[in-house]
Amino acid sequence: MKSKISSYAFSTIYPLYLQKVEKKGRTKDELDQVICWLTGYDEQGLQKQRDKGIDLEVFFAEAPQINANAGKITGVICGVRVEEIDDPLTRQIRWMDKLVDELAKGKAVEKIFRS
């Protein structure tokens, strides 16, 4: 059974992410950088996914390459430790949420990348 969060459209979530980071003085380019780092999409690919209106399950299923350092993303999002989430799709979605949170909180993009 599909989790409720995975059925949200990426095109619906993205503007919420953008609003969150811009309110804190960050840019669309920085948001795109962070999402592209996690998923392997390039700018055009990200735009294409927004235009298609796909849900988060398809967004992650079609992601070119989940970053090898994504497993280093730790912390709490929505009251749950991301490193303790068993479902791979839910974990990927929460990784993205966590990265957006870190960007909004002023963390340097280079640190968000966990290289």
Residues shown for the chain? 115
Q: What is the pLDDT of residues 3-57, one digit of tens each?
A: 688 889 999 999 999 999 999 999 999 999 999 999 999 999 999 999 999 999 9
List the domain range (segments joined by +) for residue 34: 5-107
In a domain, 11, yes or no: yes
CATH value at residue 73: 1.10.8.290
Q: What is the pLDDT of residues 88-110, one digit of tens each?
A: 999 999 999 999 999 999 999 99
Q: What is the pLDDT of residues 72-88, one digit of tens each?
A: 999 998 898 999 999 99
In a domain, 56, yes or no: yes
Those residues whose C-beta lies under 8 Å from the C-beta of residue 38, and which sit 6 or more positions away, are 66, 67, 70, 92, 95, 96, 99
What's the number of domains the chain is made of?
A: 1
In a domain, 113, yes or no: no
In a domain, 79, yes or no: yes
In a domain, 112, yes or no: no
In a domain, 65, yes or no: yes
